Amino acid sequence: EAVPFFFTLIFGKGIRYAGHGSYKDVIIDGSMEDFKFVAYFINEADTVTAVASCGRDPIVAQFAELISQGKCLGRGQIEDPATREDWTKKLGQPLPQVR
């Protein structure tokens, strides 16, 4: 499945964005002032619909890969800063069986 992906370079800072859909909340990990952050866009169902970043490669590409594998990312998986990027370790693992 194709995942919308956007990249731009503004004043020497790279901004990346992947995903689509509406959102009700944004969780910021890192420092926007220092241009080193990840923004997780979360919808009404507490699912991450998009991710944007600056100075934090390759997290946006990893999110696009997760979505292209038919997987999703929930708010509960990113709320704790200590384990926020643990979901990246699941890339390439088989999808769980759905009954």
pTM above 0.85, yes or no: yes
Give whole-number Cα distances, 98 to 94, 95, in Å: 12, 9
- Phi and psi torsions of 85, nearest 5°: -100, 10
Q: Which CATH number fits domain 5-81: 3.30.390.30, 2.40.30.30, 2.60.40.10, 3.90.1150.10?
A: 3.30.390.30
Convert 12-47 to b/e letters by CB count within 10 Å (16 or more is b). Answer: eeeebbbbeeebeeeeebbeeeebebbbbbbeeeee
pLDDT at 89: 85
d(CA 7, CA 10): 10
pLDDT the model gives residue 2 = 86
pLDDT of residue 95: 55
* Average pLDDT along the chain, 99 residues, taken 10 residues at a time: 92 96 96 97 97 96 93 94 89 61
